[in-house]
Amino acid sequence: MWLLFAAGSAFFAGVTAILAKCGIRKTDSTVATALRTIVVLVFAWAMVFVVGSQGQIRDIGGTTLLFLILSGLATGASWLCYFKALQLGDINKVVPIDKSSTVLTILLAFLLLGEPIGPFQGIGVVLIAVGTFLMIEKKSREGDTASRGKSWMFYAFGSAIFASLTAILGKVGIQGVESNLGTAIRTGVVLVMAWFMVLVTGKAGAVRQVPRRELIFLVLSGLATGASWLCYYRALQDGPASVVVPIDKLSILVTVAFSYLVFREKLTLRSGCGLLLIVGGTLAMLL
């Protein structure tokens, strides 16, 4: 059953990137992150009451709560970096770097959780690393400045690093709590962090200036994220992180397909080879 949840996580995660890109054309990425997190939080707590796990909040131990908070902070940092990268760069370039968090997650799962790295996992790590390198755009897009051309890559790698920490901390944090409740608590941490960043950066006034059309896309993106999270952490609770995470990263196929249909972003021969290597490496980890 956890395999189905992992696959669901991949689909909704892939749709999230497309919807988010539509919602940040004019809206500041930090403001967008704060707004869509509200939707995710409502969605997450609704699921808590649906499954009836709200009463377990009193039984959460201090260590579990600490790791949930740390996981939430890592998620918040990953989101802020990710949506800033999406705003500055092409989806087909940002998403592969973000998905490279698989490599670091596998290594951290081995070092911190004791999950073994078999020969296929090792091959998968190499293929994903090479594939990501091939998909990285070396030249900035036409009309971009050199500074902007490099900045999206910086944010994309930041997103990948924090995403890998999220997976490890989340795996530890949900050992002693129902997965939906754990997701809701983590989302609350993300919400506080996101709005704190909005206030600190002086962007509170921009909240009223968000176009209605983009707000709709941000809401839809939040719903997709909520669905992805609930599937992802439900899969993590029953399955090994070294398998759940690679399946989740197959969302890149969904993202690439929709990025072409919606934004007409095309893959070059180099990028296409990179995508095949990433998918091949991901599948290798499942053997």
**What is the pLDDT, as a whole number, of residue 146?**
42
CA distance 123 to 126: 5
Nearest C-alpha neighbor of 189 from the set 84, 74, 22: 74
> The whole model's pTM is what?
0.81
**What is the pLDDT, as a whole number, of residue 239?**
84
CA distance 43 to 48: 9
Task: Give the DSSP H/E element, type plus range, for residue 4.
Answer: helix 2-23
Give me the mean pLDDT over the 170-181 stretch.
76
What's the maximum distance between 2 C-alpha atoms anywhere in the chain?
55
Give me the mean pLDDT over the 158-182 stretch.
82
**258 — pLDDT class (breaks 50, 70, 90):** confident
**Positive or negative: CA dihedral 105, 109, 112, 118:** negative
Residue 165 in tokens: 């920490």
Residues of the chain with pLDDT > 70: what percent?
94
Return the number of other C-beta atoms located less than 10 Å from residue 283's C-beta. 15
Residue 287 contacts residue 45 (beta carbons within 8 Å): no
Can you tell me which residue has the tokens 């189905």? 4
Give the relative orientation of helices 62-88 and 146-173 as an angle to the nearest 10 degrees. 160
Contacts 24+ apart (CB under 8 A), 43-50: 43/222, 43/223, 43/226, 43/227, 43/230, 44/180, 44/183, 44/184, 44/187, 44/226, 44/229, 44/230, 45/184, 47/180, 47/183, 47/184, 47/226, 47/230, 48/178, 48/180, 48/181, 48/184, 50/180
Residues 126-141 as b or e (16 or more Cβ within 10 Å = b)? ebbeebbebbbbeebe
User: Above 90 in pLDDT, residue 12?
Assistant: yes
CA distance 39 to 171: 23
What is the residue-averaged pLDDT of the chain?
86
User: Above 60 in pLDDT, residue 148?
Assistant: no
User: Above 90 in pLDDT, residue 197?
Assistant: yes
User: Above 80 in pLDDT, residue 145?
Assistant: no
Task: Give the DSSP H/E element, type plus range, for residue 147.
Answer: helix 146-173
**What is the pLDDT, as a whole number, of residue 224?**
92
**What is the pLDDT, as a whole number, of residue 243?**
77
pLDDT tens track for 69-94: 999 999 999 999 999 999 988 888 89
Give me the mean pLDDT over the 99-108 stretch.
82
More confident residue, 81 or 111: 81
User: Above 80 in pLDDT, residue 191?
Assistant: yes
Residue 184 in tokens: 């809701």
Q: CB burial class (10 A; 0-12, 13-18, 19+) of residue 120?
A: middle
**What is the pLDDT, as a whole number, of residue 203?**
93
**149 — pLDDT class (breaks 50, 70, 90):** low
**What is the pLDDT, as a whole number, of residue 116?**
82
User: Above 70 in pLDDT, residue 138?
Assistant: no
User: Above 60 in pLDDT, residue 226?
Assistant: yes
